[in-house]
């Protein structure tokens, strides 16, 4: 198994990630790094202040050493815990980046000179526009487009999928990625990227978070947290004059403790970890998001455009039934249908051969001994078929076959006409088979809707997301499949331009649109969509245009991407609410402790009955630090997303994180206080 694939399966020991995170924890103490996180920066400054005070106390043999030391230590722990959370979130990505770097190692490339000969250069010398020849067992030296030949390629370094894929010139499977390996044959590749800008380079940067930029919601949330921090800073700084007026001035340990407990350290410490983990969850599912903005936007999506083929239905349409005309044996029809499709390489054609083989045990025959003339499908005739031994077998759309037989005067029998309509109405595509201008019968091609899609669309609807099926089928067929799959709407006979129009129309209404695509003609729509997921098997143009690439090339994954986007936002909101709600209990722990000495009556506010003022303050600080550690798994995993309507989701989360956030610290602080008293720490 390929090393990267192993990592994706989490086989790299978690301990390596943890030890790297521990190292990062201390590296991140650098104030220049800390200042980017205003909440934790305030904690660090507070910890420095108490440390200075502690040193001063020691050198002046001032009292309160034990209490001051413990407060100071726990303040430092608070900072370290937050750094550790971030380190843990980054850890997995960094480990993955290391292995990807190995795949990027210098390789030899055979560059084509203008005179047709090749020269050997190292991959880093290749520039966009160069043409290289890659033969079996060689690494493809850079991202590019196959311009000649066909080859099977091992892309497991990128996708983790060990089964080789076919890459060929022209069409939608022409893109190759640097660092992947050609397994057979030889291809000519036009390089499309310069060193340092390749897909692999970008992927490395993305997974290790080097170019991670704060997303719009994250910025807004950071502003909110900074604002709250300033408010609490004001509340604590002005509390000292009020305390002096009241004749109960406070020392620096107590004031810093109060401040650190009040500012939203829980969310402040976990915020960047949540963002990194969100990106990482996508990577776990083999989706590379080009920006965090795209991940966030996927939570906001209002409309999902889903291609019918491959997303809603299983692959292509397949023949499912033969309907012989009156007086024709079903066997005979099947035989004729198979003969007419032998040279038909379309998936539909192949499915007819397969059906005949499975139902009637008809093996493919060798017709080379006969005087055979295969008639390929053409846009003019819209038929294909075979002429041999005087038999003229044709298969095609009903109108085409009607034209074919009408020229001799025999019409389509009435009962077959009814059958054709029946097939169309139920979402299938009817084909007719004729031999020597006589209609033998009909073949029904039907779409097979993937299992479980109806439920998924139901959930999406509950989430307020409209699903729209895009298909080239006629409206009648499209409507039938749409009904069967349970999508909200469909766009039939869609051209790439129609798709683009649709996206623009929805966006003009203020909606966010997500879509998947792989072909070059999808590129404009992918770029226009708010979330455009390109399939890794697709063309380079599509991959450039989209803001995400699905390495598994599974269009259904769009639904998961939306859920991950939502989960990311919910986790941030939930922990913010929890963090702010926590403050209520901390006030009831610290305020009475601060002033119980001067005003014993304020002990009435000590509703938790904490033992001593020192243990009350220390308990609050310890709770505040430990809750960060306790919530790291939740931050990394994300709050579980439930496909509910917004109102139900809000009610549920408010109950858990709002009300829970008020109650939990009362219990936690009391518990720590009991423990501290038992251990006689203060």
Partner 1 sequence: MTANGWFQIGLYLFVIFLVTKPLGVFMTRVFNREKTFLDPILRPVEKLVYRLSGIDEKREMRWTEYAVAMLLFSGVTMALLYLIERTQKWLPFNPQKLGNLEPGLAFGTAASFTTNTNWQAYSGESTMSYFTQMAGLAYHNFVSAAVGIVLSIVVIRGIARKETDKLGNFWVDTTRCLLWVLLPVCLVGSLILVSEGVVENFKPYTTVDLIQPYTTQVTGPDGKTTTQTVTQQVIAQGPVASQEVIKEFGTNGGGFFNANSAHPFENPTPFSNFFEMVLIFAIPSGLTYTLGWMTGSQRHGWAVWAAMAVLFFAGVTTAYWAEAKGNRLLAGTDQGASGLHSGGNMEGKEVRFGIVNSALFSTVTTDASCGAVNGIHDSFTPLGGMVPLINIMLGEVVFGGVGAGLYGIFVFVVLAVFIAGLMVGRTPEYLGKKIESHDVKMAMLAVLILTFTILVFSAIAVVKPYGTSSITNPGPHGLSQILYAYTSSTGNNGSAFAGLNVNTMWYNTTTAVAQLLGRFFMIIPIMAVAGNLAKKKIVPESAGTFPVTGGLFAGLLASTIVIVGALTFFPALSLGPILEHLLMNAGKAF
Is position 574 an interface residue for partner 1 (rule: CB under 8 A)? yes
Is position 597 an interface residue for partner 1 (rule: CB under 8 A)? no
The single residue among 86, 473, 583, 614 that binds partner 1, judged by CB under 8 A, is 583
Site stretch for partner 1 (CB under 8 A), options 5-13, 69-77, 138-146, 214-222: 214-222
Q: Which SS3 state, helix, strand or coil, does residue 143 take?
A: coil
Q: Among the options 307, 473, 583, 673, which is catalytic?
A: 307
Q: Which residues pair with 531 in a beta bridge?
A: 514
Is position 567 an interface residue for partner 1 (rule: CB under 8 A)? yes
Helix (H) or strand (E) holding 453: helix 453-462
CB of 148 to partner 1, least distance (A): 47
Nearer to partner 1, 186 or 560 (CB): 560
Site for partner 1 in 439-478 (CB under 8 A): 461-466
Is position 634 an interface residue for partner 1 (rule: CB under 8 A)? no
Nearer to partner 1, 553 or 567 (CB): 567
Is position 599 an interface residue for partner 1 (rule: CB under 8 A)? yes
Structure token pair of residue 64:
């309160």
307 is catalytic: yes
Site stretch for partner 1 (CB under 8 A), options 426-434, 446-454, 559-567, 613-621: 559-567
**CA torsion through residues 157, 159, 164, 166, sign:** negative
Nearer to partner 1, 96 or 257 (CB): 257
C-beta separation of 555 from 306 below 8 A:
yes
CB of 563 to partner 1, least distance (A): 8
Pairing of strands 181-182, 150-154: antiparallel
Site for partner 1 in 258-277 (CB under 8 A): 258, 262
Number of residues that bind partner 1 (CB under 8 A): 74
DSSP 574-586: HHHHHHHHHHHHH
Nearer to partner 1, 137 or 220 (CB): 220
Q: Given the structure tokens 């630090």, which residue do they identify?
A: 625
CB of 623 to partner 1, least distance (A): 17
Nearer to partner 1, 419 or 586 (CB): 586
Helix (H) or strand (E) holding 617: helix 613-637
Pairing of strands 466-470, 303-307: parallel
- The contact mask relative to partner 1 for 231-250 (x = CB under 8 A, - = no) is xx-xxxxxxxxxxxxx----
Nearer to partner 1, 131 or 664 (CB): 664
**Nearest alpha-carbon partner for 175 in 159, 196, 191:** 191
Q: Which residues contact 74 (CB under 8 A, 6 or more apart)?
A: 618, 621, 622, 625
Assign 3-state DSSP to the chain and report helix, strand, coil percentages, each to 5.
55, 15, 30
Q: Which SS3 state, helix, strand or coil, does residue 431 take?
A: strand
Pairing of strands 287-289, 548-550: antiparallel
Cα 333 to Cα 327, 339, 357: the distances in Å are 11, 10, 13
CB of 654 to partner 1, least distance (A): 7
CB of 621 to partner 1, least distance (A): 17
**Nearest alpha-carbon partner for 373 in 357, 393, 356:** 393
CB of 215 to partner 1, least distance (A): 10
Is position 581 an interface residue for partner 1 (rule: CB under 8 A)? yes
Is position 667 an interface residue for partner 1 (rule: CB under 8 A)? no
Nearer to partner 1, 199 or 232 (CB): 232
Cα 115 to Cα 23, 112, 126, 164: the distances in Å are 55, 8, 18, 33
Is position 633 an interface residue for partner 1 (rule: CB under 8 A)? no
Nearer to partner 1, 16 or 237 (CB): 237
The single residue among 510, 609, 678, 679 that binds partner 1, judged by CB under 8 A, is 510
C-beta separation of 149 from 188 below 8 A:
yes
CB of 584 to partner 1, least distance (A): 7
CB of 294 to partner 1, least distance (A): 13
C-beta separation of 469 from 312 below 8 A:
yes
Site for partner 1 in 115-174 (CB under 8 A): none
Separation of alpha carbons 545 and 228, rounded Å: 39
C-beta separation of 597 from 250 below 8 A:
no
The single residue among 43, 71, 146, 221 that binds partner 1, judged by CB under 8 A, is 221
Write out the catalytic residue numbers: 307
């Amino acid at each position: 198994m390929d090393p990267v694939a192993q990592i994706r399966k989490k086989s790299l020991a978690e301990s390596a990630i943890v030890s790297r995170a521990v190292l990062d924890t201390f590296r991140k103490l650098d104030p220049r790094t800390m200042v980017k996180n205003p909440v934790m920066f305030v904690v660090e400054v507070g910890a420095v202040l108490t440390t200075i005070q502690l040193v001063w106390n020691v050198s002046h043999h001032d009292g309160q050493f034990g209490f001051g030391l413990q407060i100071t230590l726990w303040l430092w722990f608070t900072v370290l815990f937050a750094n550790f959370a971030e380190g843990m979130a980054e850890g997995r990505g960094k480990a993955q980046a290391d292995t990807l770097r190995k795949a990027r190692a210098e390789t030899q490339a055979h560059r084509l000179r203008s005179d047709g000969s090749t020269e050997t250069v190292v991959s880093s010398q290749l520039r966009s526009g160069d043409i290289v020849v890659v033969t079996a067992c060689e690494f493809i030296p850079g991202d590019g487009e196959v311009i000649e030949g066909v080859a099977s390629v091992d892309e497991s370094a990128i996708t983790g999928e060990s089964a080789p894929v076919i890459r060929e010139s022209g069409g939608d499977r022409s893109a190759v990625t640097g660092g992947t390996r050609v397994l057979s044959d030889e291809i000519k590749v036009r390089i499309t990227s310069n060193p340092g800008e390749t897909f692999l380079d970008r992927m490395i940067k993305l997974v290790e978070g080097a170019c991670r930029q704060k997303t719009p919601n994250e910025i807004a949330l950071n502003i909110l947290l900074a604002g709250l921090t300033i408010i609490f800073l004001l509340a604590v700084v002005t509390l000292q004059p009020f305390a002096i007026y009241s004749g109960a001035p406070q020392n620096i340990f107590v004031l810093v403790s109060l401040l650190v407990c009040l500012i939203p350290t829980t969310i402040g410490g976990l915020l960047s970890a949540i963002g990194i983990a969100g990106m990482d969850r996508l990577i776990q599912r083999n989706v590379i998001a080009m920006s965090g903005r795209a991940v966030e936007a996927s939570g906001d999506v209002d409309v999902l455009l889903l291609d019918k083929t491959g997303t809603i239905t299983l692959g292509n349409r397949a023949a499912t039934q033969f309907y012989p005309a009156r007086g024709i044996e079903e066997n005979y029809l099947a035989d004729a249908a198979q003969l007419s499709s032998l040279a038909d390489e379309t998936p539909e054609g192949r499915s007819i051969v397969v059906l005949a083989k499975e139902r009637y045990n008809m093996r493919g025959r060798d017709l080379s001994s006969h005087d055979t003339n295969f008639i390929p499908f053409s846009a003019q005739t819209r038929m294909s078929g075979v002429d041999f031994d005087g038999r003229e077998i044709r298969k095609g759309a009903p109108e085409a076959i009607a034209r074919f037989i009408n020229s001799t005067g025999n019409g389509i029998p009435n009962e077959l006409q009814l059958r054709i309509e029946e097939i169309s109405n139920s979402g299938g595509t009817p084909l007719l088979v004729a031999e020597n201008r006589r209609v033998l019968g009909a073949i029904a091609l039907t779409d097979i809707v993937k299992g479980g899609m109806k439920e998924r669309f139901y959930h999406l609807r509950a989430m307020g997301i409209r699903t729209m099926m895009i298909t080239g089928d006629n409206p009648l067929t499209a409507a039938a499949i749409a009904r069967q799959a349970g999508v909200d709407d469909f766009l039939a006979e869609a051209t790439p331009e129609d798709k683009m129009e649709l996206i623009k129309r929805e966006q003009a209404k203020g909606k966010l649109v997500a879509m998947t695509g792989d072909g070059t003609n999808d590129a404009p729509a992918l770029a226009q969509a708010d979330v455009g997921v390109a399939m890794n098997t697709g063309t380079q143009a599509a991959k450039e245009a989209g803001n995400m690439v699905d390495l598994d090339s599974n269009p259904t994954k769009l639904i998961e991407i939306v859920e991950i986007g939502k989960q990311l936002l919910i986790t941030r909101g939930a922990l913010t609410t929890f963090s702010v709600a926590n403050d209520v209990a901390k006030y009831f722990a610290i305020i009475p402790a601060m002033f119980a000495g001067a005003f014993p009556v304020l002990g009435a506010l000590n509703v938790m009955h904490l033992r001593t003022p020192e243990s009350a303050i220390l308990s609050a600080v310890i709770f505040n630090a430990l809750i960060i550690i306790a919530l790291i798994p939740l931050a990394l995993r994300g709050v579980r997303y439930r496909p509910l309507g917004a109102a139900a989701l809000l009610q549920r989360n408010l109950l858990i994180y709002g009300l829970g956030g008020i109650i939990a610290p009362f219990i936690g602080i009391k518990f720590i206080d009991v423990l501290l008293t038992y251990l006689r720490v203060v």
